[in-house]
Structure 1
Amino acid sequence: MGHGGDVIAELTTDHREVDELFEQYEQAAPGGAERKRLLEALTIELVRHSVAEEQHLYPAVREHLEGGGALADKEIADHGRVEQLLKDLEGRAADDLDFDRLVVKLKTEVTAHVKDEETNLFVRLREGCHPFVLESLGEKVRNAKKMAPTRPHPSSPSTPPINKLLAPGLGLVDRARDYVTGRGQ
């Protein structure tokens, strides 16, 4: 899918890509290498997406929406649960007894988060922000995803300014590890 446009279009495109990866995962043979590869692709996409939201979307939610602080905190807590599940899955083989169970739990968390964002947060953002702000946020999110980590780091900070300082370094290390291991290729 093509990326671009305002922050809502950008993040919605990411959501559809994640949906597609979960569908491919479900169609792949249980315990096989294809499921592990698809989980790695899911992990890369979810981590990059989450980091970009935490760096740019949620600060804007806090600034522009009434009750935005509580809303952003809830979304960040959702990310924390997803990132911990990704970390729990990271070292497991696809034929591990808990692998598929954890992926089902991951899908449940991600699906609930996406539904909430698309039916609540994005609607409020569209109503509460000038289109210029949404366009600017879209560009910031796209740029952040280019430098974001590709592996879960559940203990790293999830709010600015610390996350904006650490994420590029973690991203560089993750991309180097991915290159050396062939992960995500």
Structure 2
Amino acid sequence: MADKTDIFDRLKKDHDDHRKLLEKMAGTSGESEERADLLAQFTREVKSHAAAEEQALYSTMLRKPETTGETRHSVAEHHEIEEMLNDLAATDMSSSAWLAKFKDLRHDYEHHIDEEEDDHFPDFAKYLTEDDIAHMRSVFDRRKEAEKGHAEVTPEKMEDAKE
């Protein structure tokens, strides 16, 4: 039987990379080139990861009644995080509002990936077939690379940024 953990190991590696980017961003201050570059990198990484994860993993898990609830929950969180990223990009990086929004984003994103790793992935592994695993392997990396080319920081208009 195929190893069910390798797809989850790939997802966790991305999560670890995202945690490192968040840590680096937390160490920046004001409107700096470093902060802007890290936010752009984090945004591209997270958006491409989420799209690949949804196509490879979550599309598979939606077909399994036992995991539909967890799957819908995670996909909804992906959309919330994307909105938070867009809002953060539209906020003045030197403002206290940016820092508050960043802290909220970091908290929510880390909660999301911890929940995936600790709860969802172990539950999902119970229901995966060899065909499911082969599908996920073939889709994840290809979709992630394709999405990276299109993923961008897409700020809302400043006047639309949530306060």
Would you say same fold, with TM above 0.5?
Answer: yes
> Do the aligned residues in 1 keep the contact of 2:8 with 2:121 (CA within 8 Å)?
yes
Q: CA separation in 2, counterparts of 1:16 and 1:84? A: 22
The alignment of Structure 1 onto Structure 2 pairs a total of residues equal to: 149
Aligned-residue CA RMSD (Å): 2.2
> Do the aligned residues in 1 keep the contact of 2:56 with 2:137 (CA within 8 Å)?
no
Q: CA separation in 1, counterparts of 2:34 and 2:51? A: 26
* Corresponding residue of 2:146: 147
Q: How do 1:28-67 and structure 2 match up within 5 A?
A: 28-64=28-64, 66=66
Q: How do 1:33-112 and structure 2 match up within 5 A?
A: 33-64=33-64, 66=66, 68-112=67-111
> Do the aligned residues in 2 keep the contact of 1:15 with 1:114 (CA within 8 Å)?
yes
The answer to which structure, 1 or 2, has the higher relative contact order (CA under 8 A, 6+ apart) is 2
Gaps of 5+ in 2: 155-163
> Do the aligned residues in 2 keep the contact of 1:52 with 1:141 (CA within 8 Å)?
yes
TM-score (structure 1 length as normaliser): 0.72
Gaps of 5+ in 1: 154-185
Q: CA separation in 2, counterparts of 1:100 and 1:131? A: 45
Q: CA separation in 2, counterparts of 1:28 and 1:131? A: 44
Q: CA separation in 2, counterparts of 1:117 and 1:43? A: 19
**Displacement, 1:65?**
5.6
Change (3 A) 1:138 1:98: farther
Q: CA separation in 1, counterparts of 2:61 and 2:153? A: 24
Give the AA of the match of 1:71: E
> Do the aligned residues in 1 keep the contact of 2:30 with 2:95 (CA within 8 Å)?
no
* Corresponding residue of 1:6: 6
> Do the aligned residues in 2 keep the contact of 1:82 with 1:109 (CA within 8 Å)?
yes
> Do the aligned residues in 2 keep the contact of 1:6 with 1:137 (CA within 8 Å)?
no
Give the AA of the match of 1:107: R
Give the AA of the match of 1:114: I
Give the AA of the match of 2:24: Q
* Corresponding residue of 1:129: 128
